[in-house]
Chain A
Amino acid sequence: MTNAIELIGITKRFPGVLANDNVNLTVKEGEIHAVCGENGAGKSTLMKILYGMQPADEGVMRLFGRELSFSSPNDAIDAGIGMVHQHFMLANQLTVLENVILGAEPTKSAGLINFDEASSHLEEVGKAYGLTVDPNDLVETLEVGERQRVEIIKVLYRGAKVLIFDEPTAVLVPQEVEELFRNMRELKANGATIIFIDHKLEEVLEIADTITVLRQGKTVATVKPQNVTATDLAELMVGSELPKPQISESSNNNTIALALEEVSVLGDDERPLVDDVSLSVNKGQIVGIAGVEGNGQHELVGAILGTQEIDSGSISLMGEDISNQSVRDRRESGLGYVPQDRQDEGLLLTAPLWENAALGHQTLRPFSNGWRQWFIDKVGSRSQTEMIREKFDVRTPNIDVSAHALSGGNQQKLIVGREMVAQPSVLVASHPTRGIDVGAQASVWQQIRDARSAGLATLLISADLDELIGLSDSIVVMFRGKIVARLNPSEINPRSLGAFMTGAALETES
C-alpha cells in the first residue's frame, strides 16, 4: 500500500502556544486512520493545516508522494482532500443541492448554474456510496444524521480521495453513530482514505485501522487497535489515568427543592415543545435529563429559569410557587444556572472577568450595595472574583483580562464558580462540560459532586451520556417534549439510553 498522506515535522505556533510541535503522521491509502487526543492536543490545528485553512510554520506535507503546500481550502480540495466538519458547514436556508455544489458549480454560459447537471451528478455520487438525500430539501428541515450525510456528499461531490472526519460522532446518538460507521466502511471499500478525529476511545477502537495519539502538540504513538485497550489509549492521551464521572453513595434527604407539575410550553405554531412534564429534584440529588437535542430540553430549562413563558402547569422552588416570577426574582431566591453556550449566554466576552463574575448576581452582595443595591460594589466584586479564581482554579494572569482571553475550560470554571459561590438551592446545569478538556471536565464534575454532598439539588442536561449516567441519581428521557422514561442510572448503559432517546425503545415496547 502506498502512503496517501505524509506529514513530517509539522510545527505551528500561535501567540503563546505551541499548537503542533514536530508532528509526524503517515496515513496509508485506503485505511481509516484515527487521530486522537484531548481537547487542545493539537488535532484540530493539524487538520486545519492539512486542509489549507492555516499554513504550517515548519514541516513538509506529501500527498501520494508529491510534496504540496496549500494556501487555502481550495488548494486542498483540488488536491483531493475533503473535510467533514464537526460543526456542520451548511447554510440552513439553502437547499441541499445549493450547499453541495457551492464552490464547484457546473455552469452554462454567463455564469448560469446548470442545476440539472448538478443534481444528476449529486445523485450519481449518492448512489455510488449508498448515501441518499433529496437535493431540493432545505437544509433546515433535515435531521442531524441527514445533515451529516449532506456534509459527506459535499466532500465526495468535489472528488475527494482523502476524507477528514472532524469529531463526527460528537453530535450523534449511538444509533446514528452506527449508521455513520457503516457509511465510513462503505467509503473505505470504495477506495477512499479516511482520517478520523475523535477522543471517544471505544469508537476509535471499533472503526480505525491505525491510531495516532497526540498529546500537547506532539505525536506520542502510532498503534494498531488490536494491540491496545481503551485504558492504554487513555493513558497515552492524558499521560496519566483518565478521570471518570462518578458519584458516591446517595445523599438524598427527601426535601423537594425543585418541582415541576404538568408544565407545558407551546411553540409559535401551537405545537407543544414541552408537553406535560412533571418532575422533582430533591436536595442533594442530581437528576439528569437525556434527549437528542431539540426535544424540548432547551425550552424546559427556559421555563425553569423564567426566560420561556409556560402555557400551563406550575413550577416551585423550595416549596414556593415561582411560575409567575421574573427571572430576577427566581435567581435571587436561589436558582443557579450554567448555560449551555458559555460564550453566547454565559459571558460578556469583551468584559473583564470581575464583571463577568457578577453576571446574574449583580443585584446581590458583594457585587452591589447602596439603596436597593443600585450601585456596583467594585471592591466587593473584585475580591469575590479573586476568591472564585482561587477556589475554582480559573487560570488567568489577573481578573482584569477580558473573558475571551480565557480558554474554554477556564471560562467554564469561572461560570461554575460564579454559580457555586452564590450557594444556590437549585442548580440547572446545561451541558456543563461540553467542549472542555479532561482536566477542566474533572474539576467541574468535582464541583458538582461536592455541592451535591452539601445538599444542592441539581438538574443536569447533557449530551455526554457517560456523564449523565455517571453523575445522576436518576435520569429522565425527553422525546418530542414529553418525558418518555424514568431510568435508574445503575441499570443502564449509553446504548440502552440512546435507544430511549431516539424513541426506538418506546416503539418496541408499545
Chain B
Amino acid sequence: MIDKIRRLPAYARWATYATIGVLILTLVQELGQNQTSHLTATSTAQTALKWSIPILLAGLGGLFAERAGIINIGLEGMMILGTWFGAWGAFNYGPYWGIVIGAIGGAIGGLIHAIATVGFGVDHIISGVAINILGPFAARFLSSEVFTGYQGGSVTQSPRVENVDKFTMPFLAGGYETPNFLKWLGDKEIPLLSDIGNILRGILTQTSWATIIALLLVPISAYVLWKTRFGLRVRISGEDPWAGESQGVNIYRYKFIAVMISGAFAGFGGAFISIEMSSIYQEGGTTGRGFIGLAALIFGNWRPGGILAAALLFGYPYALQFGDFDGFASHALLLVNAIALFGVVIWALRNDKRTDAAIAFVLGSLSAIWYFVSDTVPDWWVKILPYVIVIVVLIFFAQRLRMPAANGQIYRRGQT
C-alpha cells in the first residue's frame, strides 16, 4: 500500500498522508479514556498552523542554503534580526512593510554568512554560530538606540504593532457572509469527516495573509529549485560545485544568492513572530525556532513538502496546549505517539529491520503504558515533544535521508 501511495501525484500523496494523520487523531478520540475533542478542534488547527509558520519559514530558509551546499546554523540569529526589523518596520510603515523589512533584516544576516563562508571560505558552523551570537546582541543594541525613544518601547521590547489583514474562505468557512459548509460538517459529529471539516475550517478561517504567503512559498520553492535554471545551478552548487564550475557556472554567485534568500526567509519567519504572533518585538521571542526549522529541514529530507509536514508536526503540540484546560488532549498525545510507533513497528518488520522494530515496540509500549496509568501529563512533556519526534525520526529514518552531496564543504574556485 505504501508503494501505491508513493506513486500518486504530489497533492494526492500529501492529502493521503494528512488523512492518515487525522484518522489516528479520530481513533484516539474514539478509543481514549477522556473527552479529547480538542485534538481536532477548529481552534487547535488554527493555532497549530500559525505556530508552524515560523518553523516552516526557517526550514525553507535552510533549504535554499543547504541545497547550495552552505550549512546555515545561523538561521536562529537571522530570525532574531527578522523579529527586530519586522517590528521596527511594522511600527513605522505598517505590517506589510514590516514583513518586507524583516526579511531584509534576515537577508543582512544571510549576507554576512555568505561573505564569510562563500567569500572567505570560513567553516560554515563557525560562521553560523557567530551569527547566532551576533543576532541577539545586534537586536538589543538597536532596541536601546531606537525603541527606548518610543512610547511603550524598551531595550527588550518594541511598542505594539498591527497585524496583517485576515482572510476567511467564502462558502467553505463562511467568509464574506456566505454559508459555512465546514462548520455544518463539523457540527454533524461524524467520525473522521467532521474532524477533517473542523481542521480545514481552522485553516481557512481568519487566516493571515502572511500565513498564506508563507504557505505559497512551499510550492514556489519547489518550482524554483527543480524547474528553473537558477534552481538547477543552486542545486549543482550543493551537489558537486566542481562539476558546475567545469561547465562554466559561477558557483560563488549562486551560493551567495541562495544564502541571502535563506536569510530573507528566516527574517520573514522572525517578522511573522513579531507581527502576527506577539504583536510586539520581544527579546528572546524566537525561542529557538530557528533551530527547530533546521530540524524540520532534516526531517523533511531537504524537500519543501517534507519541511511543511515537519513544521506542522512540530507546531501541533505547541498549539494543543492552548485551551487544553483539563490537560486531556496533551495526555492523549501519548496514545497518538504509541500508535505512530506501532506503525513504525509494522514498517520495520516489513523491511526486515528487527532491531528497529524492537526499539519502536518498546518505546510505543512505554508510551501506551504511560497513557493508561495516568490521567494527565506534566506540561514539559508537550514542550519536549518536538525534540523527541526529531530524535525518534533520526533513529529510524536517518539512513533514508539524503542531504546534498557537497553540503558543508568549503568550495574554492579552481581547486578540485
Contacts and interface: CB of A to CB of B under 8 A. Distances in A.
Contact of A102 (B227, B247, B352, B414): B247
A83 interface: yes
A102 B232 contact: yes
Contacts of A54: 414
A101 B233 CA distance: 10
Interface string A91-105: 111100011011111
A101 B232 CA distance: 10
B240 interface: yes
Given A107-B229, A268-B399, A91 B246 contact: no
Given A91-B405, A102-B236, A113 B247 contact: no
A85 interface: yes
B368 to A, nearest CB: 30
B246 A73 contact: yes
Interface in B189-245: 227-230, 232-233, 235-236, 239-240, 242-245
B159 interface: no
Contacts of A99: 243
A112 B227 contact: yes
Which size bracket describes the interface of A in this complex?
20 to 34
B404 interface: yes
B240 A90 contact: yes
A89 B416 CA distance: 10
A91 B240 contact: yes
B359 interface: no
Interface string B237-262: 00110111111110000000000000
B7 interface: no
Most buried by A among B228, B229, B236, B245: B229
A398 interface: no
A87 B245 CA distance: 14
A94 B248 contact: no
Contacts of B239: 91-94
A154 B235 contact: no
Tell me if A's interface is mostly helix, strand, loop or mixed: loop
A508 to B, nearest CB: 37
B4 interface: no
A397 interface: no
A94 B235 CA distance: 9
B246 A85 contact: yes
B229 A113 contact: yes
Contact of B232 (A74, A98, A268, A270): A98
B232 A105 contact: yes
B77 to A, nearest CB: 28
Most buried by B among A85, A103, A110: A103
A493 interface: no
A168 to B, nearest CB: 15
A72 B248 contact: yes
A77 interface: yes
Given A89-B243, A102-B244, A112 B228 contact: yes
A15 interface: no
B358 to A, nearest CB: 17
B402 interface: yes
A111 interface: yes
Interface residues of B, number: 25
A92 B229 contact: no
Contacts of A85: 246
Contacts of B244: 91, 102-103
B235 A105 contact: no
A89 B404 contact: no
A101 to B, nearest CB: 8
A362 to B, nearest CB: 26
Nearest to A115: B227
Contacts of B245: 73
Contacts of B227: 112-113
A270 B235 CA distance: 32
Interface string B376-416: 00000000000000000000000100101100000000101
A53 interface: yes
A268 B414 CA distance: 36
Interface in A45-63: 53-54
A74 B248 contact: yes
A83 B246 contact: yes
A270 B352 CA distance: 9
B248 A113 contact: no
A449 to B, nearest CB: 34
B405 A93 contact: yes
A348 to B, nearest CB: 17
Contact of B404 (A83, A93, A101): A93
A112 B232 CA distance: 10
Given A102-B243, A102-B244, A270-B352, A91 B236 contact: yes
A158 B247 CA distance: 9
A105 B235 CA distance: 14
Contacts of B404: 93
B321 to A, nearest CB: 40
Contacts of B232: 94, 98, 101-102, 105, 113
A413 to B, nearest CB: 24
Interface in A434-464: none
Contacts of B246: 53, 73, 83, 85, 89
Contacts of B405: 91-93
B280 to A, nearest CB: 38
Pairs A-B, 3 closest by C-beta atoms: A74-B248, A103-B247, A91-B239
5 contacts: A72-B248, A89-B243, A89-B246, A91-B240, A110-B228
Interface of A: 53-54, 72-74, 77, 83, 85, 87, 89-94, 98-99, 101-105, 107, 110-113, 154, 158, 268, 270
Interface of B: 227-230, 232-233, 235-236, 239-240, 242-249, 352, 399, 402, 404-405, 414, 416
